[in-house]
Amino acid sequence: DVKVTQSSRYLVKRTGEKVFLECVQDMDHENMFWYRQDPGLGLRLIYFSYDVKMKEKGDIPEGYSVSREKKERFSLILESASTNQTSMYLCASSLRGRAFFGQGTRLTVV
């Protein structure tokens, strides 16, 4: 079974904090993704990576950055958290087009 693991299930952070969300996959997938999911807006792509140190902006990259130093790990960084970044964050990795999601991190910024 493919395993995609996100470091935290729930997080509460203060406005202005730098926030790190970590994601690890164990199946040697090249493609990894970060999405956020909000009611009525669906899944929106923040960033994706198609190889180590390679990244591409998604639809809503503002306020976020990513890091992929190793193939199995893809990190999402909120440079200065704001209340409008309160959301469910989902990491995924994909093989031959089939995406597998982590359990999600519900981030609340207060």
Partner 1 sequence: QKEVEQNSGPLSVPEGAIASLNCTYSDRGSQSFFWYRQYSGKSPELIMFIYSNGDKEDGRFTAQLNKASQYVSLLIRDSQPSDSATYLCAVVPQSSGTYKYIFGTGTRLKVLA
Interacting residue ranges for partner 1, rule: CB under 8 A:
31, 33, 35, 40-43, 45, 48, 50, 56, 58, 90, 94, 97-104
Q: How far is the CB of 16 from partner 1 (least distance, A)?
A: 28
Pick the closer one to partner 1 by CB: 3 or 18: 3
- Cβ at position 20, least distance to partner 1 in Å: 19
d(CA 42, CA 36): 8
What is the rounded CA–CA span in Å between residue 109 and residue 16? 9
The values of phi and psi at residue 5, to 5°, are: -120, 125
